[in-house]
Amino acid sequence: MEYCIMVVACDQSLPHIIETHNVVREFKGHDKPVKALDGVSIYIDEGEIFGLLGPNGAGKTTLIKILTTLLLPTRGTASVGGFDVVKEPHKVRKIISLVSGGETPGYGILSASENLWFFSQLYGLTSSAAKAEIKRLIADLEFEEYAKTRMSKLSTGYKQRLNLARGLLNNPRIFFLDEPTLGLDVLTSRKLRSYIVDWAKKERKGTVLLTTHYMAEADEMCDRVAIIDRGKILACDSPLTLKEKLKENVIMKAEVSSVQADFGFLDQMKGIVGVSQTRSIQTNTTSLKIMVREEKTFNDILSKLEKQNLKILSVNKAEPTLEDVYISLVGRGFEEETAS
Amino acid sequence: MRAAYARLWVRIKGGNREPEWLIAELIIPVITLSAYIFLYKMVKAPPQYAGFVIIGGTLMAFWSNVLWNMSAQFYWEKETGTLEAYLVAPISRMAIQLGMALGGFVNTTLRAIAVFVAGILIFQVPMALYEPFTAIVIFLLTIGALYALGMMFASLFLLYGREAWHTANLLQEPIQFLSGTYYPTTSSVIPFTVQLLSSLIPLTFGLDGIRRVAILGQGIKEVWPNIVALAIFTLILLPLARQALKFMENLGKKEGRLTLRWQ
């Protein structure tokens, strides 16, 4: 299998609202340090919705923790709003907010609005200003009927609405969102995404740094996306440009009637840029997404699959997605195996 | 101050929203006091011993609050996910600590007064309080020193995982024993080493001082060393708590354990 990994530095000479220069973060490992970030250099401009896209363990949360002053970099520098995250953390905290997906948005024993009042006080809002802002956010995020419900009794979706409202209480200049739609249903995810985009583009004109491992989320929301894997930024551009770069390749999807088949032969074949496999135990099928340089390579693949007595259920040509960009960069998909 | 007030408000609101806790916190201490008072009556100890026990039980409520709701608080905040929101907010961490301490103090005072009054009424304890102001000063200084100690423990527990729970458990009984919650540590029966160790705990000076003023009828002339000791404890522990918090937060950021859960 042929694929290339290029380390991209998204860098410019002008000052940006977020900048990192060769940020390295190491954690203690069993026998040697583990590099969670390996020379990350990115810039983000004011008003941008910037996505960090990568699989679990890619280093997305580590980077967000450094930028929100929760973690120190081992090496390198980072600034947010022109303030150094290591030397001026207090100044950084005044202009940011952080919301993580799957987090508890406060104290279970307090109601949704009581929790919001509590967090508003951490940002110095007067009680009357806080109450007005809470009322507005609760209405905007559509959970008025649960405003007086104890947080512990809210569903995951409403907890995340509350979490988002908490993050917006201080009207942050830079809003950090770490997997904001993690574990949410499709409708709630869509609603929250559209709310965040409206907030950033129309209402506040603020900057958003979003981490996600959902391709569609990054594609739909972000002005620019950085693809991160094993602590390295592999590509950084607008979703459209990233996908445009793949036009020279052919992407094919094939569904095969086996969940146990060995597709190891694909690694040995020439002309393959990358492969992603999704196995479903429920349907006993494997979905293959294969990126090839020339369409004829795919014919060879199909004949090899047939030789293995595998039933090919469907074959489609696909338009490039951000997942394909990732596959083209690292040679594999985000989730190689999904037992659903 | 807004942050401190907000944290205090959460503690009071949350603390009184589940009345089942109130029952447990009022009845269990009275049962414990009763056991010691009956024991002293059986061995025909002077009647003042019942008063010693009631004052010990009352202050123990504060120690338990410091230990379980103050020291281990940041650990719980971390486990529930709210610590991250605190640490990203532009507030002094000491403001949060202050709010936790004041909220805990207000909640516990109501329970402690109930235990104190119930104990005095049930066991008809003879009181000899001639200098109430001195008693109040000692009480407030004891509370100040205890909560300052709690703030320091909270800072140290910031990076703790499950062991925070065990450490709090470990501190419960020895402090109860050394500070003389249910007996006076100044008695000649208590070995010198125990007395020496007990002098390292602010609760010992608070208990001894209040007992002297409220039960034995003594005044400022006799208890001024207690007042000085408690003031010194507070003055040392508060800045120490601040430094410990700063150090532990920085260490957590370096090691990546600040908001790491389920350690």
**pLDDT of A8 over the 90 cut:** no
**Residue A117 to residue B2, Cβ atoms within 8 A:** no
Nearest of A68, A69, A66 to residue A25 by alpha carbon: A66
Q: Report the residue of chain B nearest A116, measured CA to CA.
A: B6
Whole-Å CA distances, B26 to A136, A192, B31: 42, 46, 9
The answer to whether B247 faces chain A, any CB pair under 8 Å, is no
| Minimal C-alpha gap between A80 and chain B (Å) | 13
Q: What is the DSSP string of A75-109?
A: EEEEEETTEETTT-HHHHHHHEEEEETT---S-TT
Dist CA A155 CA A170 (whole Å): 24
Mean pLDDT of chain A: 84
A280: helix, strand or coil? strand
The answer to whether A40 and A62 are in contact (CB under 8 A) is no
pLDDT of residue B19: 72
Q: What is the dihedral of CA A292, A222, A27, A91, to 10 degrees?
A: 160
| Minimal C-alpha gap between A68 and chain B (Å) | 6
The answer to whether B151 and B72 are in contact (CB under 8 A) is no
- The values of phi and psi at residue B260, to 5°, are -75, 125
**Residue A100 to residue B254, Cβ atoms within 8 A:** no
pLDDT of residue A217: 85
Dist CA A170 CA B65 (whole Å): 32
**Residue B10 to residue A119, Cβ atoms within 8 A:** no
Which of A236-250, B107-121, B157-171 shows the lowest mean pLDDT across its residues?
Answer: B157-171
Domains, in order of start, for chain A: 18-243 (3.40.50.300), 248-330 (3.30.70.260)
The answer to whether B66 faces chain A, any CB pair under 8 Å, is no
pLDDT digits (tens, 9 = 90+) for A212-247: 888 888 888 899 999 898 899 988 888 888 888 777
pLDDT digits (tens, 9 = 90+) for A200-216: 887 777 899 999 888 88
Give pTM, 2 decimals: 0.80
**pLDDT of A154 over the 90 cut:** no
Which of A123-137, A278-292, B122-136 is predicted most confidently?
A: A123-137
The answer to whether A275 and A327 are in contact (CB under 8 A) is yes
pLDDT digits (tens, 9 = 90+) for A82-140: 999 999 999 999 999 999 887 777 888 888 999 999 999 988 888 889 999 999 999 98
Q: For residue B6, which residues of chain A lie inside 8 Å, CB to CB?
A: 117-118, 121-122
* Interacting residues of B46 by C-beta distance below 8 A, sequence separation 6+: none
ipTM reported for the complex, 2 dp:
0.79
Residues, chain A: 340
* Interacting residues of A321 by C-beta distance below 8 A, sequence separation 6+: A215, A219, A243
Q: Are strands A312-318 and A250-256 parallel, antiparallel or unpaired?
A: antiparallel
Dist CA B15 CA A109 (whole Å): 9
pLDDT of residue A176: 95
* Interacting residues of B229 by C-beta distance below 8 A, sequence separation 6+: B199, B202, B205
pLDDT digits (tens, 9 = 90+) for A127-140: 889 999 999 999 98
pLDDT of residue B262: 52
The rounded percent of chain B whose pLDDT value lies above 70 is 94
Q: For residue A28, which residues of chain B lie inside 8 Å, CB to CB?
A: 255
Dist CA B202 CA A142 (whole Å): 52
